């Protein structure tokens, strides 16, 4: 039951009904006995700045941001941290003292999910090949380079987009970031799909995994369905496979901690709770 002291957060999106974030944060709120709530916030494109400012003044603690608002959220922040600067987008807003403070936890969530689902994996292991060059690829590439990955290769149908991303992320003292017309699978330690291919309602990602080393890891950030054709092909080859649900769960932790003053845990019970709401392909 909510009280006059309840903390309120939510998720901005359009549409937002598909988001599993309310289910995720609702589980944590109940687990930790917190006087608070987390609600879906459907906001039409172009209206995010005025709505976010109004909720800041209304006493909301903050919000997550999903499609199509991540770049608009960046523009409406009073302050953004380095994760948001490098990603060029915001997925977590904290409302504090009348200010809107933005960050991007997608890269952090990706690394945490990799460590959880592929024990022993490290960003320093070797070349990472990213399929796609959108917002998720940007956040993941930035996190990998910062964590010591020696080489990130971007493969995208629109080469110009990948080339721009590479220029934006290149920093002295970090690993190389390159663009390739085809995935250099024989040299790849980690292959990551950041495109919608393989998602429910989308065509599968068609790629021959046979050139990958036997030690390679394959990750698909798609989580509807949990077992995409790419992950099924990886497992059939005997490779370690990492699904997209872990990234969703872990990216939510920093925001929850900022809004509700508890750093939540990701465990089997949480995964089962959220996965129960994910339809099969």
Q: How far apart are CA 277 and CA 58, in angstroms?
A: 31
| 136 is known to lie in a ligand binding site | yes
Residue 244 in marked binding region: yes
Q: Determine whether the annotation assigns residue 66 to a binding site.
A: yes
CA 244 from chain center: how many Å? 8
The answer to whether residue 70 is catalytic is yes
Nearest to 13 by CA among 5, 4, 22: 22
Q: Which residue shows structure tokens 């990701």?
A: 266
> What gap in Å lies between CA 241 and CA 263, rounded to an integer?
27
91 marked ligand binding residue: yes
Active-site residue, selected from the candidate residues 7, 70, 146, 164: 70
Structure tokens belonging to residue 216: 């390679």
59 among the known binding-site residues?
A: no
Task: Find out whether 133 is annotated in a ligand binding site.
Answer: yes
Which residues 6+ apart lie within 8 Å of 204 measured at CB? 197, 198, 228, 229, 230
78 is in an annotated binding site: no
Determine whether the annotation assigns residue 83 to a binding site: no
Q: 139 a known binding residue?
A: no
- Cβ neighbours of residue 207 closer than 8 Å, sequence gap 6 or more: 131, 183, 230, 233
CA angle 266, 271, 276 (to 5 degrees): 155
* Residue 124 marked as a ligand binder: no
Q: Is residue 276 a known part of a binding site?
A: no
Q: Confirm whether residue 132 is marked as ligand binding.
A: yes
Q: Which residues are catalytic?
A: 70
Output the known binding site.
19-21, 66, 82, 91, 106, 132-136, 221, 223, 244, 251
Output the known binding site for NADP(+).
82, 132-136, 221, 244
Output the known binding site for shikimate.
19-21, 66, 91, 106, 223, 251
């Amino acid at each position: 039951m909510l009280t006059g002291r309840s903390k309120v957060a939510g998720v901005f999106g359009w549409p937002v009904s598909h988001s599993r974030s309310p289910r995720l944060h609702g589980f944590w709120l109940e687990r930790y006995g917190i006087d608070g709530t987390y609600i879906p916030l459907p906001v039409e494109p172009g209206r995010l700045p005025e709505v976010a400012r109004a909720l800041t003044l209304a006493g909301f603690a903050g919000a997550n941001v999903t499609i199509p608002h991540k770049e608009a959220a960046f523009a409406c922040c009073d302050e953004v941290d380095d994760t948001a600067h490098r990603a060029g987008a915001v997925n977590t807003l904290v409302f504090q003292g009348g200010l809107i403070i933005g960050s991007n936890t997608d890269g952090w969530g990706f690394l945490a999910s990799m460590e959880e689902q592929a024990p022993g994996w490290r960003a320093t292991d070797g070349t990472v090949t990213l399929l796609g060059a959108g917002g998720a690829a940007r956040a993941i590439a930035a996190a990998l380079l910062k964590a010591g990955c020696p080489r990130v290769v971007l493969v995208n149908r629109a080469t110009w987009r990948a080339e721009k991303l590479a220029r934006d992320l290149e920093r002295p003292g970090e690993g190389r970031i390159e663009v390739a017309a085809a995935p250099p699978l024989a040299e790849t330690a980690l292959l990551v799909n950041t495109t919608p291919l393989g998602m429910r309602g989308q065509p599968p990602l068609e790629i021959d995994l046979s050139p990958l080393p036997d030690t390679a890891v394959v990750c698909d950030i798609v989580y509807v369905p949990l077992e995409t054709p790419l992950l099924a092909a990886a497992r059939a080859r005997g490779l370690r496979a990492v699904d997209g649900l872990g990234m969703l769960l872990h990216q939510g932790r920093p925001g929850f901690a900022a809004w509700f003053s508890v750093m939540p845990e990701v465990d089997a019970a949480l995964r089962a709770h959220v996965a129960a709401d994910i339809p099969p392909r």
